[in-house]
Structure 1
Amino acid sequence: MKYLYLLKLPIIILFMLISCQADTVQVGEQKLTLSNTEKENNLEPWKAKWISTVDKLDSVNAWTMFQKSIRLEEVPPKPLFSKIAVDSKYWLWINKQLVVFEGGLKRGPKPNGTYYDEVDLSPYLKKGENQINVLVWFFGKEGFSHKNSGKSGLLFEVQKLPALSSNDSWKAWKQGGFGHTQEPHPNYRLAESNIYFDARKGSLDLTNSVALGANNALEIGRAGDSPWGELTARPIPQWKDFGVKNYINTKDFPFTSKGDTLTMHLPYNAHITPFLKVKAKAGQLISIQTDNYMGGSNPNVRAEYVTKDGEQEYESLGWMNGHEVHYHIPEGIEVLDLKYRETGYDTDFNGVFYCDIPFYNRLWEKSLRTLYVTMRDTYMDCPDRERAQWWGDLVLESGESFYALSPSSHLLTKKGILELVNWQRHDSTLYSPVPAGNWDRELPTQMLSSIGKYGFWNYYLHTGDRQTIKEAYPAVQRYLSLWKLNDQGTLVLRQGGWTWGDWGSNKDMELLYNTQYYMALEAYALMSQLLGEKETFDALQLKMELFKKNFNKVFWTGAAYRSPQYKGATDDRSQGLAVVAGLAGEETFQHILRILQKEKHASPYMEKYVLEALFQMGYPEQALNRMKERFAEMVHNTQYTTLWEGWGIGAEGFGGGTTNHAWSGGGLTLLSQYVAGVSPLEAGYRVFQIKPQLGFLTHIKATVPTVKGKIVLQIDKDSAFKMDLTVPVGTKAIVHIPNAFPKINIDGVKIQGVGQADSWVVEIQEGSHQILAKKSE
């Protein structure tokens, strides 16, 4: 093995990051394209028609069945892709086999656009008679993650088999049984409705022949027509279906209900659709909801089922989430079975972090579970109250995904980036959540964070996806043009639609704005250099240099960063952000440390940046201690497998106090990035750093799933420093060894490391290696 030893290694080389331009990520043996541009430019014209029923079911919470029967004289070619678009969701069966469970994405790649799925039909079609059934659920109302088109419809295109494409030869009818529950309905943030089904009026045995008297479908438009608009290929995988499972506390079936509410336990907080099998008289109402029904403060979705006479089974198709499913089953009904189906984003839990103190392992695991339950059509703040793609949350979620999930998760971040810039308004403002139909207020600090180095640029750094940065760049440029500097050379605050910096008290808003702005400038500069915009890059470098000087002149008091007009207690968030933004010099670190040991005002959202500042300043023990103190109640809680929105639950928390909130998982990133020490130095992990900060920990194991493969390491630190390391093919690692251990041996060979202030540094090529460093021979 050949080693290259460094004569000089800068602590950070910002402009190395532009060298990787990969546009794909590897997921197992499959490559997922990170840019749809070429694919979309080569689409053949669509021949299918948008179709609906003669009943024109455009009301809220409308369910329509579409069916096509066709005889094939030979086995169809492989693959045989269909393109399926709906507003809002669909279920697809071919020849009595479920092919897609909850297809479609919430509407809004652009304000007037719709996503379509691509599904390979060839494994399900056969020679002879074939039957296709598509059940479409039309939300029919706006939400914080959905833009309502106002018209239900199906577009089903099969270019290689035009006879299957949707037109008036299809059958279409209102799917009987579906209706509306009584109040309460889901809060206004959700586009979904409660699901009500009366088995006396319809059947969900969707593989039966056509309903008697069904009419031919009505052709109501062509691809690209209003109101569905421009069509965009689904940029993320179909959901992973974990199958129908037993609850943890499976009952001794069958039994006769006493009229109680049955509490069925899930193994963890998950997206589920509840299933039941009963024997009952007709007309009895069974109610189903989860323990997360109130979403901290506001109702979300629930289900109701009205029985027919006899034995029957039912699965409510709209997903809900929680740790428990509550079935209220009237007295006298014989319960034959209760189960659930778990579905979720199609990614794998490939990341690992383990250390010798169980608290941090549990925090990492709860962060991962929280991350996964806040992924579906978009990254979302919470899966119950809102299901909304707030970008402050997404910045933290995407950062966690790079350390915890397989690369298929990167596509959800890319989708969020393109949605954010495609929804940019004519006045150049950006806002989230989008897609949305009933929200349009800009949160300036979140928008600065989104386009900044922890948002768009961090995505590029971990993926090497240059094309997405190229597509987003003009929107970044336009948005930052809205921000101006005052005569002191610091930021003029823009109010936006909602002047929000964080939940909690003692927010120094002027500091929050200025630090976020500087990080957005840095990302803009890096994007400019990446894309060859040299004049813009040079101007931004000068602007950043002057801004940093003015920032410290205006806000540094000699003991803390404070805005001149701010009267509250010193804001811990702002001290942390000044450090991670790169605005605070080393001469401020001791002062900031004292502040962060005393002041604790940040919500779990901003706490990530406070803790990160402690690591960046070189205080890992203090970071680990504060992390343990702040998150202790959440981590030790045995009722919930997920982390909360605030430091308390419900009324004790912030903003409604959900128990599964995306922004609380920043500890996962910090444990992998700083404690294990793994981070990319070149985009796409061609060169990466391992600079562990164990603090008082003595043993860690970590796996980081990168686009180049898994980085695997194990570190033991006692009287010696030992590291087992796997460096993926096509990459190299810059490894930092604590300076207390100068006698370095790698794979049995003595090495002279390059000295830095706090470590010895060596560059290691791909392969598996053993590092042993001692204080002396």
Structure 2
Amino acid sequence: MNYHAYTGNLEALREPYPRLLRFADYLHELWQKGGRGLLPVEDIGIPSVWIDHNAYERQRHKQCAFNLYAAAMLENALAPLCREFGQKKQEKAARDFGRNLLGAAVGRFWSPERELFVNNLPWLKDEGKSRLCDRSLATSVLFDQCPGQKIGPAVEALAGCPPEMGLSYPANACWRLWALAKGGRADVIVKDLRERWATMDSVRLNNTIQEDWTAKPDSGAQWSHCAVVPLYIAYMGLAGIRPLEPGFRRAEVRPQVADLEELELTAFTVRGPIHFLSKGKVGDRELTIEVPKDCEGELVLSEKETVGLTPVPRQAPTGPRRYILQPGEEVTLRLTYT
């Protein structure tokens, strides 16, 4: 669905779309056999549930993340894709399946006391210690899966990374950083890039990003197969650029640069480039943005800011404010709180 959101090209999805429906049918068959209304992660035959190889002490600890991920896919990706293809029956089936999975995951893994998902909650007494994972918590934040929209405890856990937290390997680290961006914790993202990514042996010695957090010399781990997390988190998290409608008919820019004194980048969209430049420290920052001529832009800023832009109509009474970015026009703002 991200492909369609970023390109607006539905035609290219006609070939894989039937395969996606078949895969959803396969998941439904597993679900019917799994018990407790959940997709199983053990004893499913030749296929295996991976999710990540660093974040989990036991295979069964992956069940929470797997079900939250599948629920998010069904409701937020497959169902909208079915709607785009005009298949209302399949859309409803995907949405209902996703909601059933989420309900079962909440019933099995949601801790009302801690107000977050605990991977081993059903086996906590036997195992003697709790286990969290960045993937479950990030998915619950990104796709609004926490009951009552209570994302605060999950965001704080993702920011603090307590000892009970299982952390994914570098190629999967994006989920945690995306969720931190949604939760307004760009400070943690920048700290992570400085202290975990920039200090990698492969970065210091070879100017590459390694496959695992610890990489031995002369091994395949010196080069990652998916070394793009710092790059796209700069665009999607720090500059906060994302499509609000397929093909960037509407776009959002939500700057969160923490203590970075300068960040300049250009996001090349299907409608043209979005130019972004942030300079200065918190309290005295200059932001320059330009969106393409046929793109309706929305700028998201702290509610404390005072800027000479037109507010977007019908906003929530509290929280960040949204402003209209005129197509094709460069705007420069002085910011105090963002």
* TM-score, length-scaled by structure 2: 0.81
SS at match of 1:669: helix
Larger displacement relative to structure 2 (542-551 or 520-529): 542-551
Alpha-carbon distance in structure 2 between the residues aligned to 1:739 and 1:607: 30
Given the alignment of the two structures, is residue 739 of structure 1 paired with residue 303 of structure 2, yes or no?
Answer: yes
Alpha-carbon distance in structure 2 between the residues aligned to 1:744 and 1:659: 47
Aligned to 1:687: 250
CA contact (8 A) 1:516 1:581 kept: no
CA contact (8 A) 1:572 1:610 kept: yes
Given the alignment of the two structures, is residue 730 of structure 1 paired with residue 314 of structure 2, yes or no?
Answer: no
SS at match of 2:173: helix
Give the letter for the 1:572 counterpart: D
Aligned to 2:191: 625
* Residue-by-residue CA offset, 1:40-86 (whole Å, 9 max, x unaligned): xxxxxxxxxxxxxxxxxxxxxxxxxxxxxxxxxxxxxxxxxxxxxxx
CA contact (8 A) 2:253 2:297 kept: yes
Alpha-carbon distance in structure 1 between the residues aligned to 2:201 and 2:184: 25
Given the alignment of the two structures, is residue 490 of structure 1 paired with residue 54 of structure 2, yes or no?
Answer: no
* TM-score, length-scaled by structure 1: 0.37
Alpha-carbon distance in structure 2 between the residues aligned to 1:677 and 1:531: 29
Aligned to 1:444: none
Distance 1:664 1:556, change over 3 A: farther
Give the letter for the 2:50 counterpart: W
Alpha-carbon distance in structure 2 between the residues aligned to 1:496 and 1:734: 47
1:329-408 to structure 2, matched below 5 A, reads none
Alpha-carbon distance in structure 2 between the residues aligned to 1:590 and 1:516: 19
Alpha-carbon distance in structure 1 between the residues aligned to 2:229 and 2:85: 30
Aligned to 1:373: none
Aligned to 2:241: 678
Distance 1:496 1:666, change over 3 A: farther
Aligned to 1:220: none
Give the letter for the 2:142 counterpart: V
CA contact (8 A) 1:688 1:733 kept: yes
Alpha-carbon distance in structure 2 between the residues aligned to 1:641 and 1:651: 14
How far 1:555 sits from its partner (Å)? 0.7
> What is the number of residues matched between the two proteins?
312
Alpha-carbon distance in structure 2 between the residues aligned to 1:534 and 1:659: 47
Aligned to 2:139: 577
SS at match of 2:330: strand
Distance 1:495 1:684, change over 3 A: farther
SS at match of 2:297: strand
* Residue-by-residue CA offset, 1:301-350 (whole Å, 9 max, x unaligned): xxxxxxxxxxxxxxxxxxxxxxxxxxxxxxxxxxxxxxxxxxxxxxxxxx
Aligned to 1:772: 333
Given the alignment of the two structures, is residue 471 of structure 1 paired with residue 15 of structure 2, yes or no?
Answer: yes
Alpha-carbon distance in structure 2 between the residues aligned to 1:505 and 1:761: 37
Aligned to 2:88: 534
Give the letter for the 2:172 counterpart: M
CA contact (8 A) 2:71 2:99 kept: no
Distance 1:525 1:501, change over 3 A: same
How far 1:514 sits from its partner (Å)? 1.1
Aligned to 1:503: 53
How far 1:460 sits from its partner (Å)? 1.4
Given the alignment of the two structures, is residue 712 of structure 1 paired with residue 258 of structure 2, yes or no?
Answer: no
CA contact (8 A) 1:684 1:707 kept: yes
* Residue-by-residue CA offset, 1:466-507 (whole Å, 9 max, x unaligned): 012122111000111011334432223345434423232535
Aligned to 1:33: none
SS at match of 2:307: strand
Alpha-carbon distance in structure 2 between the residues aligned to 1:495 and 1:606: 25
Give the letter for the 2:224 counterpart: H
Alpha-carbon distance in structure 1 between the residues aligned to 2:20 and 2:156: 34
Give the letter for the 2:40 counterpart: V
Distance 1:479 1:579, change over 3 A: same
* Residue-by-residue CA offset, 1:75-114 (whole Å, 9 max, x unaligned): xxxxxxxxxxxxxxxxxxxxxxxxxxxxxxxxxxxxxxxx
Higher CA-based Rg: 1
How far 1:625 sits from its partner (Å)? 2.0
SS at match of 2:51: coil
Distance 1:716 1:596, change over 3 A: closer
Distance 1:767 1:460, change over 3 A: same
Q: Higher helix share goes to which structure?
A: 2
Distance 1:569 1:543, change over 3 A: closer
Given the alignment of the two structures, is residue 761 of structure 1 paired with residue 322 of structure 2, yes or no?
Answer: yes
How far 1:590 sits from its partner (Å)? 2.0
Alpha-carbon distance in structure 2 between the residues aligned to 1:629 and 1:775: 27
Aligned to 1:390: none
Distance 1:499 1:547, change over 3 A: closer
Which one has more relative contact order, counting CA pairs under 8 Å at least 6 apart?
1
CA contact (8 A) 2:131 2:166 kept: no
Instruction: Mark the runs of 5 or more structure 1 residues left unpaired by the alignment.
Output: 1-456
Aligned to 2:3: 459
Aligned to 1:552: 106
Distance 1:710 1:578, change over 3 A: same
1:27-176 to structure 2, matched below 5 A, reads none
Give the letter for the 1:489 counterpart: G
Distance 1:752 1:578, change over 3 A: closer
Instruction: Mark the runs of 5 or more structure 2 residues left unpaired by the alignment.
Output: none
Alpha-carbon distance in structure 2 between the residues aligned to 1:745 and 1:723: 13
CA contact (8 A) 2:72 2:98 kept: no
Distance 1:673 1:775, change over 3 A: closer
How far 1:677 sits from its partner (Å)? 1.1
How far 1:569 sits from its partner (Å)? 3.7
How far 1:575 sits from its partner (Å)? 2.0
Distance 1:753 1:464, change over 3 A: closer
How far 1:515 sits from its partner (Å)? 2.4
Distance 1:572 1:767, change over 3 A: closer
Percent of pairs with identical residues? 19
SS at match of 2:196: helix
SS at match of 2:94: helix
Alpha-carbon distance in structure 1 between the residues aligned to 2:150 and 2:132: 18
SS at match of 1:744: coil
CA contact (8 A) 2:138 2:176 kept: yes
Distance 1:583 1:591, change over 3 A: closer
Alpha-carbon distance in structure 2 between the residues aligned to 1:528 and 1:505: 33
Alpha-carbon distance in structure 2 between the residues aligned to 1:591 and 1:512: 13
Alpha-carbon distance in structure 2 between the residues aligned to 1:604 and 1:514: 22
Q: Higher strand share goes to which structure?
A: 1
2:174 to 589, 605, 608: 608
SS at match of 1:541: helix
Distance 1:506 1:620, change over 3 A: same
